[in-house]
Structure 1
Amino acid sequence: MSDARTPKPLVIGHRGAPGYRPEHTRSAYELAFALGADAVEPDLVATRDGVLVLRHENEISGTTDVASRPEFAGRRTTREIDGSPLTGWFTEDFTWGELATLRATERLGALRHASASFDGRYPVIRLRDLFAIIDRAADERGRMLRMVAEFKHASHFASIGLPLDELFAAELRGAGWGVGDERLIMEAFEPTLLDELGARGIRGARVLLVEGSGAPADLVRSAGASAPSYDSFVTAAGLRSLAGRFDGVSVGVGRLLGGDTGSGAPAGGQESPLRGARLVNAAHESGLDVFTWTLRPENRFLPAAYRRGKGKAAWGDWTGAFGDVLATGVDGVFVDHPDLGVEARALATESRG
Structure 2
Amino acid sequence: MRARTAPVVIGHRGAPGYRPEHTRASYELAFRLGADAVEPDVVATKDGVLVLRHENEISGTTDVAGHPEFADRRTTKEVDGSPLTGWFTEDFTWDELSTLRARERIPGLRQPSSTFDDHYPLLRLRDLLDLIDRTGDAGPQAPGLVAELKHATYFDAAGYPLDELFLAELADAGWTDRAGVVVESFEHTVLTRLHERGFRGRRVYLLEDSGAPADRVAALGSAAPGYETDLSLRGLYALGSAARSAAERVDGISVETAQVLSSGSVSVALFGEEDAADVGAVTSDLVDLAHSAGLAVFCWTLRPENGMLPEEFRTPGADSDWGDWRRFFSILLHSGVDGVFADHPDLAVAVRDGR
Give the TM-score taking structure 2 as reference length.
0.90
Distance 2:24 2:127 in 1: 8
Secondary structure at the residue paired with 2:182?
Answer: strand
- For 2:10, the equivalent position in structure 1 comes to 12
Change in CA separation of 1:258 and 1:285 when aligned onto 2, cut-off 3 Å: closer
Distance 2:264 2:85 in 1: 40
Alpha-carbon deviations, 1:187-233, whole Å to 9, x = none? 00000010011111112110000012100001000011221211111
Structure 1 residue identity aligned to 2:35: A
Percentage of identical aligned residues:
59
- For 2:202, the equivalent position in structure 1 comes to 205
- C-alpha contact (below 8 Å) 1:106/1:119 kept by paired residues: yes
Change in CA separation of 1:181 and 1:287 when aligned onto 2, cut-off 3 Å: farther
1:160 maps to 2:154: no
- For 1:118, the equivalent position in structure 2 comes to 116
- For 1:266, the equivalent position in structure 2 comes to none
- Correspondence for 1:80 among 78, 81, 84: 78
Structure 1 residue identity aligned to 2:314: R
- Correspondence for 1:227 among 220, 224, 228: 224
Distance 1:344 1:24 in 2: 24
Cα displacement (A) at 1:326: 1.4
Cα displacement (A) at 1:183: 2.0
Q: Select between 203-212 and 97-106 the one with higher mean Cα deviation.
A: 203-212
Cα displacement (A) at 1:140: 1.6
Cα displacement (A) at 1:136: 1.2
Structure 2 residue identity aligned to 1:155: T
Alpha-carbon deviations, 1:225-282, whole Å to 9, x = none? 2212111111111100000400000001111124589xxxxxxxxxxxxx93410001
Structure 2 residue identity aligned to 1:250: S
Structure 1 residue identity aligned to 2:310: P
Secondary structure at the residue paired with 1:292?
Answer: strand
Structure 2 residue identity aligned to 1:247: D
- Correspondence for 2:313 among 284, 302, 306: 306
- C-alpha contact (below 8 Å) 1:299/1:311 kept by paired residues: yes
Give the TM-score taking structure 1 as reference length.
0.90
- For 2:340, the equivalent position in structure 1 comes to 333
- For 2:271, the equivalent position in structure 1 comes to none
Cα displacement (A) at 1:8: 2.6
Change in CA separation of 1:260 and 1:246 when aligned onto 2, cut-off 3 Å: farther
Q: Structure 1, unaligned stretches of length 5 or more?
A: 1-6, 262-274
- For 1:246, the equivalent position in structure 2 comes to 250
Distance 2:237 2:339 in 1: 20
Alpha-carbon deviations, 1:119-174, whole Å to 9, x = none? 00000010000001111112222114210000000001000110001100110011
- For 1:293, the equivalent position in structure 2 comes to 300
- C-alpha contact (below 8 Å) 1:17/1:336 kept by paired residues: yes
- For 1:172, the equivalent position in structure 2 comes to 170
- C-alpha contact (below 8 Å) 2:9/2:348 kept by paired residues: yes
Distance 1:74 1:247 in 2: 43
Alpha-carbon deviations, 1:59-94, whole Å to 9, x = none? 000000001110000000001100111100000000
- For 2:269, the equivalent position in structure 1 comes to none
Distance 1:144 1:119 in 2: 28
Q: Structure 2, unaligned stretches of length 5 or more?
A: 242-248, 266-281
Distance 2:294 2:65 in 1: 46
- C-alpha contact (below 8 Å) 1:277/1:329 kept by paired residues: no
Change in CA separation of 1:276 and 1:242 when aligned onto 2, cut-off 3 Å: farther
Distance 1:226 1:259 in 2: 27
- C-alpha contact (below 8 Å) 1:144/1:183 kept by paired residues: no
- C-alpha contact (below 8 Å) 2:261/2:284 kept by paired residues: no
Count of equivalent residues = 328
Distance 2:192 2:283 in 1: 27
Structure 1 residue identity aligned to 2:174: G
- Once the two structures are superposed, the pairs formed by residues 124-203 of structure 1 within 5 Å of their partners are 124-178=122-176, 180-203=177-200
- For 1:271, the equivalent position in structure 2 comes to none
Distance 2:179 2:142 in 1: 9
Q: Select between 225-234 and 41-50 the one with higher mean Cα deviation.
A: 225-234
- C-alpha contact (below 8 Å) 1:16/1:31 kept by paired residues: yes
- For 1:320, the equivalent position in structure 2 comes to 327
Following TM superposition, where does structure 1 have runs of at least 4 consecutive aligned residues deviating by more than 6 angstroms? none
1:218 maps to 2:215: yes
1:279 maps to 2:286: yes
Q: Select between 220-229 and 42-51 the one with higher mean Cα deviation.
A: 220-229
- C-alpha contact (below 8 Å) 2:262/2:284 kept by paired residues: no
Secondary structure at the residue paired with 1:276?
Answer: coil
